[in-house]
Structure 1
Amino acid sequence: MKKLHKLIILSYLRPFIATFFIVSFILLMLFLFKYVDELVGKGLEWHTIAELLMYAAASNVPLALPLAILLSSIMTFGNLGEQYELVAIKASGVSLTRAMMPLVVVMIFMSIAAFYFSNIVMPKSFLKMASLLYDVREKKAAFAIPEGVFYNDLDGFSIRVDKKDDDGQTLHGIMIYDHSQGMGNTNVILAKQGKMYKSDDNHYLIFNLSDGVRYEEMRGAGNLGDRQRHVRVRFSQFEQKFDMSGFNLSRTKEELFKDQYQMLNVKQLLVKEDSLKKVETSKTSMLQSYLQSTFLFYRKSGDFKRTKPYTLKLRTKDDVLNVVPADKRLMITEDALSSIRNVKSYLSTAVEEKKSTDDLLRRHLVEFHRKFTLSFACMVLFFIGAPMGAIVRKGGLGMPFLISIIFFLIFHIFSITGEKFAKQGSLEPYQGMWLASVVLVPLGLFLTYKAASDSALFDADKYKRFFNTILPQKEKSKFK
C-alpha cells in the first residue's frame, strides 16, 4: 500500500468511527425518549436494559451508517483541501479520482458488510428487540404500596395502608380486600399493624399481620344464597401471601415473532413472497369457480343450464322470465336474489382478503429491496460527500456537518416517501425503495465531475461575473 493511500484511509477512518458512534448515540437517545415511559418504574435489571439498548443500536444502523459515511467523507476531503494537502496531491500528478480509489475500495468492503448486516444481523436484532420490548411492556411496574390509597396491582387483591415506617417494612392501618375467588368484596382483612417482606425466592410477598380481624361472607345452608353467613375471626398473628410472578420479567418465545417480515433474511423473504403469491392465485381460482357455478340461467332439480352470451343480448328482462314456467317464476326470482346476495357478500370478503394479501406482499418486497438499498446508499453518499468536501475545502465539524445534514435529509425524505408510496401501492416496491438512490446518483456524478475538473462551484465571484455578463449595463453596479 502506498503512503498516500494509507494517509487517505487513516484520514477517513478516524472521523468515520467518531461520527458513527456519535450518530448512533443520538439515535439511541431518541429511542430512550420514545420508550422511557415503558421502561421507568418497572424495576428492570441493568443487563435487561443494556440488552434492549444493544438491539436498538443495531436497528439504528440503517440511519447511522449512511450519515456517518457522508459526514466523514466531507470532513476528510475538506480537511485535505483546507490544509492544501489535496493541492499537493494533484500537483504530484495524482488526480482526485485516483486519490479517491483507496476509499472506493473501502466503500466496496463496507457495502458488502452493510449487506451482510442488513441480511443476517438486523433480522435477528429486530426479532430479539421485538420480543424483549413486548415483555417489558407487559411487565408490571415495580412493587410499591403507597400510603392512604388502594393498591390494585397484585392480582386478586386490593391493599390500603394508612402509614409506612421509614424502614419500608413496618405498616400501620392495613386493609386487604380479597377478590381472588371472583365473588366480590366478600373477604376483608383489617389489621392495626404488620410487617412486609419477600420470600427467599422473590416469588411471594408475605404480610405478617398482628392484632386484626377477618370478615368473610359465605353461602348459607343448602346454598340458598351467596351471602347468608357472616364469619368474623379475630387474630393476634396472621400471615397472608401474595403471588408476585406478575412483577417478574417473563420472556416470550421468539418463535411468536419470527414470521414478521422485518425478521426475515433475503432467502426467507423470497420463500414468503412465493407462498403469498400461491395463496393469492389459489384464492383467485376459488373465486372464479364459485362465480362460474353461481351465475346460471335456470336451476331445476340440480340440473344447470347455462345461458349462451348471444342469447342474453337478444332478450329483455321480460323475455327471460317468459321462458321460465309460470309456477317456477317466484322460486327462480327468490333463488336469483339469494344468489346475488351471497355473491355480493363473498366478493366483499374476497376483496378485503386480496387487499390484505397484497399489502402483506408489498411489505415483504419492500423489506427485500431494503437489504440492497442500504449497501448502495453507502456508495452513493460517499460519491456525494467526497467531491463536496474537495469543493468546499472546509474541515472540522461545522460546515461539513451542515452540508451532510442537508444531503442526508434529501436522502432520508426520498427514502421514507418512496417506502410509504410502495407500501400504499402507489409505486412498485422496487421503484419506491430505489427512489432515493436514483435521485442522488446523478447528483453524485455531477459533484464528482465538478470536483475532478477543479470547478469553483461555490465561488461567489464567479457567479457575480456571470450575472454581469448577462444583465444590462445599468444593472451591473448592483453586483460590484
Structure 2
Amino acid sequence: MKKIHLLILRSFIRPFIVTFFIVMFVLLMLFLFKYIDDLIGKGFEWYIIMELMLYSSATNVAMALPLSVLLSSIMTYGSLGENYELVAIKSAGISLGRALYPMIIAVCVLSISAFIFSDYMLPVANLKYYSLLYDARKQKTAFLINENVFNNSFPGYSIRVKRKDADGQTLHEIMIYEKGQDMQSNSMNVTFAKEGVMYRSPDNLSLILRLKDGIRYEEKKAENGYDPRQQLIRLRFHELVQKFDLSSFKLARTDENEFKSAFQMMDLKLLNKWKDSTGNLLNIGLERNYSLITPYFKYFGIPHKTSKPIKFIPGKANYLKNLPHDKQISVIGNALNEAKGVKDQVKVRAQRYSDLSLEQRRNRVEYQKKFTLSAACLALFLIGAPLGAIIRKGGLGLPVVVAVAFFLIYYIISTIGEKFVKDGDLSPMIGMWIAIIVLTPIGIFLSYKAANDSELFNVETYNKFIKKVTAFFTKKTAQ
C-alpha cells in the first residue's frame, strides 16, 4: 500500500472513532431522558444501570454507524481539500477515484462487519436489553414512605408520616394501619408514634422502623369460639421495632425465553424459518376458507320441475319478479341467512389471516434490516467522500450540518418506507431499500462532480449564472 493510502486511512480512522462515540453518547442520553422515571428511585445496583446502558448502546449501532461514516468521510476529505492536500494528490497524477480506493476498501470491511453484527450480535443484545428494561420498568419504587401520603407499598400495611428530616431516615408523627392476619375479617391494628427511625437490614431484605413514644391498638376475636365479642387491646410503648419485608422490591428477572418470539431477537435463519411456517399457515387457512364457503354456493337453487316456467333475462335484475310475492320473501330471507352464515364463518378467519399477514410483513422488515445497515454505510460514504472534496471544509462546523441534513433525509425516507411496508402498501424489498435507492444516484452525481472539480457549492458560480439569466430576460423585455 502506498504512503498516500496510509495517510488517507489515518485521516479517516480518527474522526470516525470520535464521531462514532459522540453519536453513541447522544443516543445514550436520549435513552436516559426517555426512561429516567422508570430507573431512578428503584434501588437498582450500579451494575444493573451500567448493563442496561451497555445493551442500549449496542441497539443504537444501527443508527450511529451510518451517521458516523457519513460525518467522518465529509470531515476527512473536507480537511484534505481545505489544506490543499487533494490538490497535491491530483497534481501528482492521482485521480480522486484512486484517492478513494483505500477508503472504499475500509468502508466495505466496515459494512461486512456491520452485517455480521446485525445478524449475530444484535439479536442477543436486543434480547438482553428488552428483557432487562421490561423488568426494570415493572419494578416497584424504592421511595417507600413519603410525607403526608398513605403509603401502600407493603401488602397489608398503610403507613402515613407527617414529616421527614433531611437525612431521609428520621420520621415524625407516624401512623401505621395493619390489616389482621384473617383477611376475611374487618379487624385492624393501628399504631401511632411521635418519632421513628427508618433503615434497612444488613442483608437488604427488610425495612426496619424503630418507633418511639407511641401507642398501639389491636382488635381481635375472643378466644372462646362461642363468644362473638371482640377484644380491644391498647399498648403503650417507649420503643417498638417493626419489620417490613422487602423481597418484593428486589429486581426479579423474567425468563428470557418469553422474549425470543420477537423478530428483533432473531437472526436470518430464524426469520426465514418463521416465514416458511407462517406461509404454510396462510396457505392452509385459505384452503380451509374455500372448503367452508363452498357449501353455501348453490348453482341450482331452483327445482328442476316447476308448475310455471320462469324466464331468466341475463343482465337484468328481474328474476324475483317472476316469482310470487311469498316466494320472493322466502328467497330473500334464505339469502340473508346464508350471507350471515358466510360472514360469521369468514370474519374470525379473516382477522386471523390479517394478523398473520401483518406479522409476516414485520418479519420481512427485520430481515431486510440485516442488509440495509451495510448498504447504508456504503451509500452514505458515497455521498460523504465527494461532498467533502467539493465543500473543502474540515472540522465540526459545516460538515456536521451537511451530514445531519443527508442523514435526516435517509432516516425519514427509510422510516416512511418501513411504515408503508407494515401497512401493506409496499413490498418489503422496495420499502426497506427505497432510501438506498434514492441516495445512491445522489452519491454517484456528487462523485462525478468531485472528480471533475465541480464548483457545486461555489456561491460566485451561482451568482454569475443568475446574472446571465437576468441579463437575458432583461434584453428580451427591452426588445
Give the structure-2-normalised TM-score.
0.87
Task: Quickly say closer, same or farther: Cα 1:458–1:231, change in 2 above 3 A.
Answer: same
Post-superposition Cα deviations, 1:264-317, rounded to whole Å, max 9, x if no partner, equal 111111111111111111221221111123x165xxxxxxxx737999995945
Q: Does 1:212 align with 2:211?
A: no
Task: Show the counterpart of 1:229.
Answer: 230
- Tell me if structure 1 keeps the 8 A contact 2:66–2:377: yes
- 1:115 aligns to what? 115
In the alignment, what sits opposite 2:283?
A: 281
- How many residue pairs match? The answer is 460
Please identify, of 338-347 and 240-249, the stretch whose mean Cα deviation from structure 2 is larger.
338-347
CA offsets per residue over residues 79-107 of structure 1, 9 Å max, x none?
Answer: 11111110111111110000100000001
Return the alpha-carbon distance in structure 2 between the equivalents of residues 310 and 461 of structure 1.
90
State the partner residue of 2:343: 344
Question: Corresponding residue for 2:35?
Answer: 35
1:301 aligned residue: none
Is the 2:144–2:153 Cα contact (8 Å) retained in structure 1?
Answer: no
* TM-score (norm: length of structure 1): 0.87
What do residues 341-364 of structure 1 show as CA deviations (whole Å, max 9, x unaligned)?
332123222222122111111111
> Does the aligned pair in 2 maintain the 1:119–1:265 contact within 8 Å?
yes
In structure 2, C-alpha distance between the alignment counterparts of 1:313 and 1:255, rounded to whole Å: 67
In 2: Cα distance, 1:392 partner to 1:444 partner: 14
Q: Equivalent residues in 2 for 1:317-396 (5 A)?
A: 317=320, 338-396=337-395
* Cα distance, 1:336 vs structure 2: 6.6
1:254-273 equivalences in 2 (<5 Å): 254-273=256-275
Q: Which residue of 1 aligns with 2:315?
A: none
RMSD over aligned CA atoms reads 3.1
Q: CA deviation at 1:213?
A: 2.1
Q: 1:440 to 1:188 in 2, by over 3 A?
A: same
Stretches of structure 1 lacking an aligned partner (at least 5 in a row): 298-305
Residue 176 (structure 2) aligns with: 176
Q: Secondary structure at the match of 1:427?
A: coil
Do the aligned residues in 2 keep the contact of 1:12 with 1:72 (CA within 8 Å)? Answer: yes
Q: Determine what percentage of the aligned residue pairs are the same residue.
A: 45
Distance 1:105 1:223 in 2: 92
Question: How far, CA to CA, are the matches of 1:313 and 1:414 in structure 2?
Answer: 60
List gaps (5 residues or longer) in structure 2: 305-309, 313-317
**Partner in structure 2 of residue 302 of structure 1:** none
Residue in 1 aligned with 2:148? Answer: 148
Q: Is the 8 A contact 1:15 1:76 kept in 2?
A: yes
Counterparts of 1:454 and 1:321, CA distance in 2: 89
Q: Is 2:12 the counterpart of 1:12?
A: yes
Amino acid at match of 2:11: S
Q: Contact (CA 8 Å) 2:150, 2:158: kept in 1 or not?
A: yes
d(CA) in 1 for partners of 2:284 and 2:171?
67
1:67 aligns to what?
A: 67
Residue of structure 1 in register with 2:402 after alignment: 403
Give, in whole Å, the separation in 2 of the partners of 1:184 and 1:174: 25
Q: How does 1:295-334 map to 2 (within 5 A)?
A: 295=296, 297=298, 307=300, 314=312, 316-317=319-320
Question: 1:220, 1:288 → 2: CA distance?
Answer: 72
TM-superposed CA distance for 1:145, in Å, is 1.6
One-letter amino acid of the structure 2 residue matched with residue 398 of structure 1: G
Q: 1:199 aligns with which of 198, 201, 214?
A: 201
What CA distance in whole angstroms lies between the structure 2 residues aligned with 1:336 and 1:44?
65
In the alignment, residue 307 of structure 1 is paired with which amino acid? F
Q: Is the 8 A contact 1:206 1:242 kept in 2?
A: yes
Moved more, 171-180 or 129-138: 171-180
The Cα offsets for residues 320-356 of structure 1, whole Å up to 9 and x where unpaired, read as 999x9xxxx98x9988755543321232222221221
